[in-house]
Amino acid sequence: MHYFFHIVDKYGLCPDGTGHEYADQDAAALHARRLATELAKAGEFFRAGFVLVACATAPGSASRHQGARPPSH
């Protein structure tokens, strides 16, 4: 399944236009947690934000998403 990892912070949404293939939602959530951890290391600019995980609704679809949810901590 294809997942997108959008970055949301105090300035708004930074969309992921590429995404990545993961076997399941758990693997995608793990990747989102890793991204959030790395962004937090960048300082105050990113600490107020989160990574929004969105799943493509159809194979190869980069424009439609479903099941968007922030990763659980």
d(C-alpha 67, C-alpha 1), whole Å: 12
Q: Pick from 65, 70, 4: which is nearest to 36 by CA?
A: 70
Query: Does the predicted TM-score (pTM) go above 0.75?
Result: no
- CA triple 21-39-24, angle to 5 deg: 25
**6 lies in which domain range?**
2-69
- Indicate the number of domains in the chain: 1
What does R_g of the chain's alpha carbons equal in angstroms? Answer: 12
Res 73: pLDDT = 43
Q: What average pLDDT does range 45-49 have in this prediction?
A: 66
Asked if residue 5 has pLDDT above 50, the reply is: yes
d(C-alpha 2, C-alpha 18), whole Å: 9
Q: What is the pLDDT of residues 51-70, one digit of tens each?
A: 889 998 655 444 444 444 44
Res 44: pLDDT = 65
